[in-house]
Amino acid sequence: MPKKALLVIDIDHSDNWKPSDIENDPVRKAIAKNIKEILAEWRARNELIVFIILLTQTDGLTGHEAQYCDADKRIPEDCLVCDKPELDRLAAFLDHRHGSALEPAFVKITTNAFSNKNLGAYLRNQGVTELTLIGCSTNCCVKDTAISANRSRQKLVDSRR
């Protein structure tokens, strides 16, 4: 049975997902509701949810930062995502559980989530064989991440032949 992971890509304040943006836009409100339902399903099954955020302000970061519980399941003191400037924060409706073993966070500075080399390594270490991607910039960040994931998968398949 494949091990699955849900990648939640760039649903943050810089893409107009602040509470006021959602409340004043019926389309955004409906999208947020659907995303919340998807997250609830994954959480109910205790499946891996990975949050990806594109940094608008890098402040010396490399874009390879990641945060998840360590081997002893200790939760980091500061949240890599929640402690960022306002524009770089995940949308509140996602109910990000910083420090959760099943909800790690990865940052990036390009449109492709796999530009953060720690993401691919983490997913391989977790034994993930199937990805589901959700996000709101499907023509850019979600697409670029999907293309990269497919290329990585193809390289893995080709190397096994």
The ranges assigned to domains in the chain are: 4-159
Residues 144-155 have pLDDT tens digits of 888 988 887 644
Residues 84-105 have pLDDT tens digits of 667 677 888 888 876 677 788 8
Residues 12-66 have pLDDT tens digits of 877 788 888 899 999 999 999 999 999 999 999 999 999 888 877 666 666 555 6
> DSSP of 67-114, one letter per residue?
E---TT-PPPSS-TTTTS-GGGSBPGGG---TT-TT--EEEESSS-GG
The confidence score (pLDDT) of residue 142 equals 87
**pLDDT confidence of 157, banded at 50, 70, 90?**
very low
Q: Which residues pair with 49 in a beta bridge?
A: 6
Helix (H) or strand (E) holding 27: helix 26-44
Q: Which fold has domain 4-159?
A: Rossmann fold (3.40.50)
